Amino acid sequence: MLLLMCAQIYENWQKLAYHSGCCNIISPHIFNGFYLPLKPGALQCKASLPSALNSVRFTSIVYRIDPTVTHSLANLGEFGLISRIADRVSAPESVITGIGDDAAVTAISPGMQLLTSTDMLLEDVHFRRAWHDPYRLGRKSLAVSISDIAAMGGIPCWALLSLAIPSMLPLDFIDDFMRGFLEMAAEKRVALIGGDTCSSRTGLTVSVTIMGEQHPDRIVRRSGAMPDDDIWVTGTLGDAALGLKLLESGFGSAQPLDSIHSSGNTGAINSSLPSRSSLSGVGGRDYLFSRLLDPVPRVSAALALAEAGLATAMIDVSDGILADYGHIAEQSGVGGCIRLDCLPLSESFCRQTESLPIFPFHLALSGGEDYELCFTADSSNREKVVDCLKKCGIAVTRVGIVTRFSGVTAVNPDGSRYVAQKEGFNHFK
């Protein structure tokens, strides 16, 4: 009984230590009645217990955090951090064993096949802490992986999160990152079932492995496009690329920082962070920043298309429609023709580029990170495609046609071949 009691005290004390970020190694010894020995000055803990040992119940813990001890990853340690993450995760029925064992155990629905994809996000390669606040970075880290499952017509289900973290990164950064990650997970019904955690001697590295499921006959591959199919795209193109251009050109720095500061985010170089305050202003720059920093994976649209059997091939637009449709074309053994005057552009994109002497079509064609869906469909299904996506509340635009011969071209309204003119962007320098 005494042992059980000690274990209870120890367990509760560990939880306190994890959550306060104050202590890493905890001694389980009990001496001098019911006081726990502590690292000097770190954390004080006292358990008060009723006198009869055989009816011992743990009643209270009194603790005091020494203000000289900072909350840091170093104090928390790898296992403290994993526990801190695990404490925030809730598991659906499909997760039989989640975080905490050597491997997760999950149940795939009967008749379904497993879809798996992995992505890495490297600091200063895929993101900059100066621009990506941790909350939105957490959301985006999962969103881009969910987008891959959606692009196959799959139902995203489970994710593994591996983090290589610079030891000096503030704990608040990881907390806000996880808040964003788990919020995206909840929105898209994805369960975090494990991962790996280690320290990094360079920047932050985030690696997400995602798994989803789908009936074999509903999975949509890149290889199914047929000559004369229509080429479609959801949403608008080029917003994220324009947002990135604006940030690179210093246009993000003039934005107010209210919401980011008030949410207590730290660890990012806040002076140049774009604001979250007016994301709904569709004509403004913040809309473009949100498209870059907080992309929304088109899960419901992709699932609706897959379930209706409408998409012959599908991909998510992460590298620009020219390159991404190019993958469909290559794997389907076809070509394609994309019309410039059909490219869907947002109000913000048009407004923010209206003063340029040369319209930056190249951003809409070749700019990355829109995470829209590009898919092909039989031309007899045009109305069905529009109806299907209308039900999901997602805009869809027919941008071109699949050709029999290889090669993907973009054409001007007069039918002449478009040659990219990137000089337009010198004006943002």
Binding site for ligand ADP (CB under 6 A): 82, 85, 99-102, 161, 163, 192, 194-197
Closest CA to 373 of 341, 397, 346, 393: 397
Q: How far is CA 118 from the centre of its chain?
A: 12
Give min distance, CB of 88 to Mg ion, in A.
Answer: 19
Q: In terms of CB distance, is 82 or 233 closer to ligand ADP?
A: 82
Torsion sign over Cα 104, 107, 111, 112 = negative
Q: How far is the CB of 137 from ligand ADP (least distance, A)?
A: 14
Residue 347 in the binding site for Mg ion (CB under 5 A): no
Cβ pair 237, 367 in contact under 8 A: yes
- Is the Cβ of residue 161 or residue 184 nearer to ligand ADP in the bound state? 161
Least distance between ligand ADP and beta carbon 96 (Å): 13
- 423 near Mg ion (CB under 5 A): no
Residue closest to 100 by CA, chosen among 88, 73, 82: 82
Binding range to Mg ion, per CB under 5 A, among 8-16, 190-198, 263-271, 337-345: 190-198
Give the type of residue at 91: A
Whole-number Å distance between alpha carbons of 118 and 147: 11
97 contacts which partner out of Mg ion, ligand ADP, none, CB within 5 to 8 A by kind? none
- Cα–Cα dist 266/137, whole Å: 13
Nearer to ligand ADP, 138 or 274 (CB): 138
Structure tokens at 394: 């997602």
Least distance between Mg ion and beta carbon 162 (Å): 8
List the one residue out of 47, 38, 54, 42 whose CA is nearest residue 12: 47
CA distances to 115, 145, 237, 267 from 148, rounded to whole Å, are 9, 5, 17, 29
Q: Is position 196 an interface residue for Mg ion (rule: CB under 5 A)?
A: yes
Where does 284-334 show beta strands of DSSP type E?
A: 313-317
Mark the segment that binds Mg ion (CB under 5 A) among 191-199, 244-252, 272-280, 286-294: 191-199
Looking at beta carbons only, is 11 or 196 nearer to Mg ion?
196
The option from ligand ADP, Mg ion, none interacting with 101 (CB < 5 to 8 A, set by class) reads ligand ADP
Residues 150, 316 contacting (CB under 8 angstroms): yes
Query: At closest approach, how far in Å is the CB of 197 from Mg ion?
Result: 7
Partner touching 354 among ligand ADP, Mg ion, none, CB below 5 to 8 Å by kind: none
- Name the site residues for Mg ion (rule: CB under 5 A): 196
